[in-house]
Chains A and B, each alone.
Chain A
């Protein structure tokens, strides 16, 4: 019993810390994007102000929406990110770990995409329908390089848990031994974070606001909260898989500092790519992800499983 209480406490503290880091990384992304566009960005308090304001506004339920799915969608997104978060090591060991860690994390990270699809289709609104069909296309396209490169690393590490992947990088981080998988994973990461050049389904102005058109008030606030968690979970997994989770020394504080610094590097690169690119069309993005993403990830899968050309 006390073991469960201890684990629950550790998970809660992981969520609290992750909220703070996610807030800082989301703010950092907005500030960097603004700076790359030659303007001053928002102050650091901005993401918190956005979320609190959304919770204080009135929630309007559209009459054409199907009530249960409309309210469940943001909760599903939040659940997906939080499940992945509980299993992700943030510089020190994760509070929970099961044997098939990596698989659970990959599946949990597919759930928010599904929740956007549910949100769009249940709004009863043509913009939502178009948005959810675009999100479906891109979800299918992004899962492939994401999962294939993760499986390549699992094969190279020999175990299906995050801890074993981190342990297998004690010599050289996987970024240097499997660079193709790194590039494929990064492309899929930009899509999962919802940034240009792949930000079609996520709130853009072409089709009013896509799947989230009819959301207002607390439900939209839950989506924004999920967004804040997204900005910590995805860079954390990228750092864990390719940079040994920042664990270069054995000292916990130094490890966490290295981990955060590497996450900041990833956020920097993502915001630079975002500020320089335009938005690709759905079919262009689909072809790009399947051609380049899949090809690069497959090269490394073959290298990892057969042992040819491994360095």
Chain B
């Protein structure tokens, strides 16, 4: 494992992007950053801008309005990047599947690497997804 792969595994910077869901998964994502679960011991920092991030955590089902914006935010993340779809709405649309306002789950718009199922997934599951995701970085 060379130096840059090791560095990418040790310092995953996260950006959290909520599309149109109920925000339950968003609450669990920010709960994963609280002292009880502490993502900073993995080196994970929450960044405000996609240009600083390595991992894009997408929650919520992709509505028609947010589809183009999601595509733009994905393209602003510099390579190499990982997309994690958090929550059942992002994985498969869950109860909103087939609705008139919904463009589909996240993998209809951007390529997804790791799926975390759950409604909402517990913060421990989100942290283990981040750990599983960084194994995929080149």
Contacts and interface: CB of A to CB of B under 8 A. Distances in A.
Contact of B11 (A39, A49, A213, A216): A49
B51 A37 contact: no
Interface in B66-89: 76, 78-80
A40 B41 CA distance: 6
A279 B81 CA distance: 32
Contacts of A40: 38, 40-41
A56 B46 CA distance: 19
A56 B4 contact: yes
Given A34-B40, A49-B43, 13 more contacts: A39-B35, A39-B40, A42-B41, A45-B10, A46-B10, A49-B11, A52-B4, A57-B80, A60-B76, A209-B47, A215-B51, A217-B78, A220-B51
Q: How large is the interface on A (under 10, 10 to 19, 20 to 34, 35 or more residues)?
A: 20 to 34
Given A209-B49, A213-B49, A216-B52, A57 B43 contact: no
A50 interface: yes
Contact of B40 (A42, A48, A53): A42
Contact of A53 (B7, B46, B48, B49): B7
Contact of A38 (B35, B48, B54): B35
B3 interface: yes
B136 to A, nearest CB: 15
A185 B36 CA distance: 36
A310 interface: no
Contacts of A250: none
B8 interface: yes
Contacts of B51: 60, 213-216, 220
Given A49-B10, A53-B11, A216 B35 contact: no
Interface string A198-226: 00000111001100111111001000000
A60 B47 CA distance: 17
A208 B51 CA distance: 11
Contacts of A34: 38, 40
A57 B78 contact: yes
A55 B43 CA distance: 16
Given A37-B35, A53-B11, A56-B4, A209 B41 contact: no
Given A39-B40, A60-B76, A53 B52 contact: no
A52 B6 CA distance: 9
Interface string A52-81: 110111111000000000000000000000
A38 B51 CA distance: 30
Interface string B4-28: 1011101100000000000000000
Pairs A-B, 5 closest by C-beta atoms? A56-B4, A52-B7, A39-B35, A49-B10, A53-B7
A171 interface: no
A277 B4 CA distance: 36
B3 A41 contact: no
Interface string A84-109: 00000000000000000000000000
21 contacts: A34-B40, A38-B35, A39-B40, A40-B38, A41-B41, A45-B10, A49-B10, A49-B11, A52-B3, A53-B8, A53-B11, A57-B79, A58-B79, A205-B46, A205-B48, A213-B49, A213-B51, A214-B49, A214-B51, A216-B52, A217-B78
